[in-house]
Amino acid sequence: MFHTQSDVVFIKGLKVEAVIGVFDWERAITQPLLIDIALETDISRAAVSDDVRDALSYKEVCDDVSEWCKEIQAKLLEHLAGQISDKLFAKYDCQKITLSIAKPTAIAQADAVGVQITRYAPALTNEPATKDVTKEVNDSQADDA
């Protein structure tokens, strides 16, 4: 029988003040962002050891994401979300990330507006294999010519 396991470390409602937006006035101020993050990772080692060194530290993730938001100063939430997910994969051992970033003060008639993305760790995607296959097909076609 095939068993799968899915463990998630999550952060809900991380509040960050950052420069975000495309208008000149937005570039001159900070605005509140609300960030939710779900990191799919294997927590089995920490579950057995009860040792924080075996866990993915949500405190460290919060500190990093807050700092990255302030450093990046993105114009678009889409860009910020992509940059944060790339940095999370580079620093933390996770297989999948679902990240949402909301601007609660952007539209007066809405509670919040924003973006949500889901990304998979680069090693788990077929992208490199697809590129290799494409190259092989092109090389093969060149040899036939």
pTM: 0.81
Question: pLDDT tens digits, residue range 71-111?
Answer: 999 999 999 999 999 999 999 999 999 999 999 999 999 99
Q: How high is the pLDDT of residue 35?
A: 98
Q: What is the DSSP string of 43-109?
A: -HHHHHH--GGGS--HHHHHHHHHHHHHHH--SSHHHHHHHHHHHHHHHS--SEEEEEEEETTS-TT
